[in-house]
Amino acid sequence: MNETFESIKQGLTEAIEFAQGQPGEAVVHEFAPLDIKAVRAKVGMTQVEFATAFGISLGTLRHWERGDRKPHGPALVLLNVVAKEPEAVLRALRSI
């Protein structure tokens, strides 16, 4: 239990330092904007296939492709990985 507390405490400390602009040990990954439609085209899927394969709602995918909304958080990470290594992601998903 104490180990869990220390881990949470460390994470919160790093988050506070980062928010205050202090250099810390937190790793922050910055992602460039993606052309979601181009990523989908690279994989060779329809909107329905892409949304189904990667667990994205079709409406959300359409908003991203139109530019009405932008993916954030885990969705942005997933899309960046799909953009760079689509076969690896598809292979991993097939094994589930």
| pLDDT tens, residue by residue, 11-63 | 888 888 878 888 767 677 788 889 999 999 999 999 999 999 999 999 999 99
- DSSP one-letter code for 36: H
Residues 70 and 23 reside in one and the same domain? no
Contact 80, 34 (CB under 8 A): yes
Contact 92, 47 (CB under 8 A): no
Contact 76, 31 (CB under 8 A): yes
Rounded Cα gap, residues 96 and 82, in angstroms: 17
Residues 87 and 40 reside in one and the same domain? yes
Residues 86 and 43 reside in one and the same domain? yes
Residues 23 and 40 reside in one and the same domain? no
Residues 45 and 86 reside in one and the same domain? yes
Q: Angle formed by the axes of helices 86-94 and 73-84, to 10°?
A: 110
Band the pLDDT of 1: cuts 50, 70, 90. Answer: low
Instruction: State the pLDDT at residue 26.
Output: 65
**How far does CA 81 lie from the centroid of its chain?**
8
Q: How many domains does the chain fold into? A: 2
For 2, the domain range is 1-27
Q: Is the pLDDT of residue 84 over 80?
A: yes
